[in-house]
Amino acid sequence: MHCTAFATADEYHLGTLSQDLTSRGYVEVTSLPRDAANILVMGVEHSAKEGDPGTIFFFREGAAVFWNVKDKTMKHVMQVLEKHEIQPYEIALVHWENEELTYIKTEGQSRLHRGEIRLNSELDLDDAILEKFAFSNALCLSVKLAIWEASLDKFVESIQSIPEALKAGKKVKLSHEEVMQKMGELFALRHRINLSSDFLITPDFYWDRENLEQLYDKTCQFLSITRRVKVMNEKLQHCMELTDLMRNHLTEKRALRLEWMIVILITIEVMFELGRVFF
């Protein structure tokens, strides 16, 4: 069976999404603990393969994880999802930066083994949902991070000509407003990664659920979340240094221009005074 994750937007309206999907025949799973906030879980009528019910996890952060769901159903849900997205991503990017893991139902404790999820077949439905939630949470982080990695790569590509131009002594064709805009993009991306997401710390939900925390941590390790965040922050730091250099360069040029204007005005004033004295 397959577990597939997509990041499609910055955020979802989970309330309206729940109503919309329920009206179309999907069933909401309401047995989650109270502290499992910002999550919507829906069941599908017909799963892709026998042996496990089809389940969909929607995270408010803008990611959806499909467990044992038919491609046709997945496509339909993604179309419905478009109406409830805030700041949606490019469709091509969404499908390119997805994550997919296979999973099976087996005896013994649930675990991640060589890239395959093995779920305990003896668990009741509620406990199975919680374990799927732990795996899905890590997959959600991975696909969100993949989208931001693509955004950063695009940003790097847009400024890669600047160091070469500075090295060759050429004029950099960027205005002060454009440099400030690029700095704003970097700060926004840095804020998302380090302050408004769970990339750096384990969510509070897992503090008193040690077995779920292990599943979450193991999946994050397999998906290299910590290493990828570190690499992104190093790239962001380099880009910040470059944009700071550009801002200081433009500030110095503006100050030099003002100095020359003052010198010219003083020269003109002196010439008028000399003209008044002689004539």
Q: What is the pLDDT of residues 21-30, one digit of tens each?
A: 999 989 998 8
Is domain 2-125 classified as CATH 3.40.50.1100? no
Residue the block writes with tokens 């004033």: 269
Share of the chain above pLDDT 70, in %: 97
Asked whether the predicted pLDDT for residue 273 surpasses 70, the reply is: yes
Distances (CA, A) of 63 to 7, 42, 219: 4, 14, 16
Q: What is the pLDDT of residue 155?
A: 87
139-195 pLDDT tens trace: 999 999 999 999 999 888 888 877 777 777 777 677 777 778 888 888 888 887 777
Q: Supply angle C-alpha 179, 89, 150, rounded to 5.
A: 60
- The per-residue pLDDT for 162 is 78
pLDDT of the residue at 146: 94
Q: Give 104's DSSP letter.
A: E
List pLDDT tens digits, range 188-216: 888 877 776 666 677 888 888 899 999 99
Of 48-57, 185-194, 219-228, 264-273, the poorest mean pLDDT is in 185-194
Tell me the backbone φ, ψ of residue 60, rounded to 5 degrees: -55, -25
Q: Is the pLDDT of residue 75 over 90?
A: yes
- Residues recorded for the chain: 279
What burial class does residue 61 get, using C-beta atoms within 10 Å of its C-beta: 0-12 exposed, 13-18 middle, 19+ buried?
A: buried
Residue whose entry in the numeric block shows the structure tokens 């077949």: 121
The number of CA neighbours under 13 Å toward the Cβ of 131 is: 20
